[in-house]
Amino acid sequence: MKFKEEYESQMVPEWQEAYMNYDDLKTLLKNIQQIRQTRKQNAGVKRTMTLYRAFSGLVQRHNFPINPSRKESESQHIFVNSMNENGDRSYDATYLPLPEEGAECEKEYFRKLDEEFNKVEKFYKSKVEEVMDEAENLSKQMDALIAFRLKADILQGQSGESDVSEPKFEERKLKTVNANKTVPLDIIGQVKVNQTFATPASMVRNVVYASRMTEEDYIKENVKKVEKQLNEAFAEFYLRLRHLKSYSFLNILAFSKIMKKYDKITSTKASDSYMKMVDKSYLGSSNEVTKLMERVEATFIKHFANSNRRKGMNILRPKTKIERHRISFCIGLFVGCSIALVLGLILIIQARKLLDKKGQAQYMENMFPLYSFFAFVVLHMLMYAGNVYFWRLYRVNYPFIFGFKQGTELGYREVLLVSFGLATLALTSVISNLDMEMNPETEEYEALTELLPLGLVLLVTVIMICPFNIIYRSSRFFFLVCLFRCIAAPFYKVTLQDFFLADQLTSQVQAFRSLEFYICYFGWGDFKHRENHCKSSSVYKFFYFVVAIIPYWSRFLQCFRRLVEERDPMQGYNGLKYFVAIIAISSRTAYSLYKGFNWQITSWIFSIIATIYGTYWDLIMDWGLLQRQSKNPWLRDKLLVPNKSVYFVAMVVNVLLRLAWLQTVLNIRVSFIHKETLITIVASLEIIRRGIWNFFRLENEHLNNVGKFRAFKSVPLPFTYHEAANDHDN
């Protein structure tokens, strides 16, 4: 792997602009190389021309001074100067070449080199100052934790009738692992435990049981909660230190590489003096980060890993997920099985002429909606796998954006494995349940095969909630937690992963309706005869509305919660978008069930409003496109995809796929396509639209993080220090 590729692969994506611009400097070196090559060629021509000059004789009659030859290695010098400007040190490498062609290009190279180094130096110093301030804050948090632990031990000793006398026990002092200062018990009076009320349960517990808690209960409960919060805070802080150390190392290596290239092109040793300056600079000589990492490791191992170094370091430095060949093998196996099953399904239908059978219509009305549910899920997972692939390709930091625990995020290969595994099971079930005629003896369909789709749904549900560490447990539980928070909106604080999942659910309306059909068909229908009366039931029709509205209502409540908390009017406008979508979906559903001119007009009006509103929000707010003042006309200033036409195609496709609702309002029918098949196709178009939306939505989020150099999540700290009243009397 070339250095440039390795250099870019190890960058912190959100800090990319703060790294040394290796490409620009390399381009300047190429210009220098071309100029020098041209000069050498011209020098060869001049040497050839001297062969035709007049011969001056072997004896010199006049002794003219001979000019000393110029050695190229002595034709240039570099002097590195350091200057202090407003308290900030900057460096200037002065280039003193002999007057010759190409000197201006080399001056430009060193000017750019100085600019890049000062940028890196300034950024690194600012980040070190930030982590040092944060380290001070974490030290105070640790002092409070140790005091709370000591207080808990005292209360436990008193309740257990310890033989240690209370005055002496009260005077115990604990020393921190990294300093000689003592931590007195009276520090508890200087801090307040932050109450987050992140969940409804925590809110109820704090309101109902706060008055009943004894001091011992209060201390013990807070110690557990604080330990968990500080554990996460230290792990995140250590990750920041690791990235900062890597930033320093990579940039120093980049400057060394680019100067060695310069030496090679110019046949000089300019890199020696320049790299001496780099080594003496704050970037090269500062060791605060290394020392701080050592102190964090020692503190974490002692206080959060019970002095078990291996356990502590496994938390601070989680192992990188190893790409396994068996995953590739299983993907290939399931892809092959899926293709073979699809071809087999087509051949069976053609060979047995099932489309002409009498029970074909009955099958499409009863069985097809059951199996279409798996088609929706698999398609959405395949789109997500494609999203992950392109996010990685264009270095979108999706694990950080979604808040995945380090090392637990699924790659596109893992998602493909699960997708095609489920597709194989579903297709096997379809082929096993492809009978169009009842058994002539029993006049019923086989109960076992008729229950296959229900069994498959139950199997998927069991796997999702399985507590054992199989089939990506951390990802399954992450999904279930986010799903529960979406359902419980607005009682939970809204995070990006919550509203992102809620947006995905708005594109799975038909899948929710398929689940409703499962309950009706197997609960109240006659599955042995493939008969049901679901669509004639008023209860079924009522929930046909409800299940379609739930995802949009959840998203509306999330916007309402953010409007109240953040006081951001844009969240109100976003919530209005989902409210309009609820009206549009409800009116279209009413028209599809009850018909009528009034419902049709209502559907037209609100569907058009929802389409315009949603398209505007997608392109302007979620994707950040259509900016007039952008340097990329009608796009945005920063783009990850080099081919700009991709964005314009995506915008057009987004608009066209949003018009899929026309099939319902215009009551479009295709003679050779069954109505249920047409409904499935329209629903699949919305899933495809959502998959395209996902990439550009996260790209915009990533670029916003890059603009703010926001590469780490903020972990709320458990304690707040407050000054005593008498400290302010003076």
Query: Which stretch of 201-205, 526-530, 637-641, 646-650 has the lowest confidence by average pLDDT?
Result: 201-205
Identify which of 466, 455, 381, 448 has the alpha carbon closest to the alpha carbon of residue 418: 381
Give the type of residue at 165: S
Residue 727 has pLDDT above 50, yes or no: no
Residue 286 has pLDDT above 80, yes or no: yes
- The count of residues in the chain is 730
How far apart are alpha carbons 519 and 369 in whole angstroms? 12
Query: Which stretch of 73-77, 531-535, 539-543 has the lowest confidence by average pLDDT?
Result: 73-77
Q: When comparing pLDDT for 350 and 48, which is higher?
A: 350
Indicate the pTM of the whole model. 0.83
Beta bridge partners of 444: 439
* Helix, strand, or coil (residue 78): strand
Count the Cβ atoms, other than its own, within 10 Å of residue 632: 13
DSSP conformation class of 491: S
For 59, counting Cβ atoms within 10 Å of its Cβ (0-12 exposed, 13-18 middle, 19+ buried), the class is exposed
Domain residue extents for the chain: 1-45+73-317, 325-707
DSSP conformation class of 439: B
How far apart are alpha carbons 77 and 72 in whole angstroms? 11
pLDDT of residue 551: 96
pLDDT of residue 672: 80
pLDDT of residue 628: 86
Residue 209 has pLDDT above 50, yes or no: no
Q: What is the mean pLDDT of residues 555-560?
A: 96
The pLDDT tens digits for 426-472 are 999 999 998 887 777 777 888 889 999 999 999 999 999 999 988 99
Give Cα 368 to chain centroid, integer Å: 36
Q: When comparing pLDDT for 50 and 364, which is higher?
A: 364
DSSP conformation class of 633: T
Using only C-alpha atoms, the chain has a radius of gyration, in whole angstroms, of 35
The pLDDT tens digits for 150-203 are 877 777 666 554 444 444 444 444 443 344 455 666 777 777 777 655 555 555
The pLDDT tens digits for 364-407 are 999 999 999 999 999 999 999 999 999 999 999 999 999 888 77
Residue 653 Cα distances to 340, 394, 505, 638, angstroms: 31, 21, 20, 21
The average confidence (pLDDT) of the chain is 84
How far apart are alpha carbons 616 and 629 in whole angstroms? 18
Name the percent of the chain lying above pLDDT 90.
52
pLDDT band at 710 (very low <50, low <70, confident <90, very high): confident
pLDDT of residue 72: 42
Beta bridge partners of 81: 92
pLDDT band at 724 (very low <50, low <70, confident <90, very high): very low
3-state SS of 146-212 is: HHHHHHHHHHHHHHCCCCCCHHHHHCCCEECCCCCCEECHHHHHHEEECCCCCCHHHHHHHHHHCCC
pLDDT band at 53 (very low <50, low <70, confident <90, very high): low
Count the Cβ atoms, other than its own, within 10 Å of residue 271: 20
pLDDT of residue 716: 79
DSSP 674-723: -HHHHHHHHHHHHHHHHHHHHHHHHHHHHHHHHHTT--SPPPPPSEEE--
Backbone φ, ψ for residue 191 (5° rounding): -125, 160
pLDDT of residue 392: 94
How far apart are alpha carbons 571 and 580 in whole angstroms? 14
pLDDT of residue 61: 46
pLDDT of residue 539: 94
pLDDT of residue 429: 95
Q: When comparing pLDDT for 79 and 495, which is higher?
A: 495
Q: When comparing pLDDT for 18 and 68, which is higher?
A: 18
Identify which of 513, 326, 286 has the alpha carbon closest to the alpha carbon of residue 521: 513
Residue 526 has pLDDT above 70, yes or no: yes
Top mean-pLDDT range of 139-143, 146-150, 390-394: 390-394
The pLDDT tens digits for 294-337 are 999 999 999 889 889 999 998 888 877 676 789 999 999 999 99
Query: Which stretch of 144-158, 225-239, 448-462, 531-545 has the lowest confidence by average pLDDT?
Result: 144-158
Q: What is the mean pLDDT of residues 652-681?
A: 89
Cβ neighbors of 77 (< 8 A, separation 6 or more) are 95, 96
How far apart are alpha carbons 71 and 173 in whole angstroms? 72
Q: Are 175 and 182 in contact (CB under 8 A)?
A: yes
Q: Is the peptide bond before 490 cis (omega within 30 degrees of 0)?
A: yes
Residue 212 has pLDDT above 60, yes or no: no
The pLDDT tens digits for 586-633 are 999 999 998 889 999 999 999 999 999 999 999 999 999 998 888 998
Residue 59 has pLDDT above 80, yes or no: no
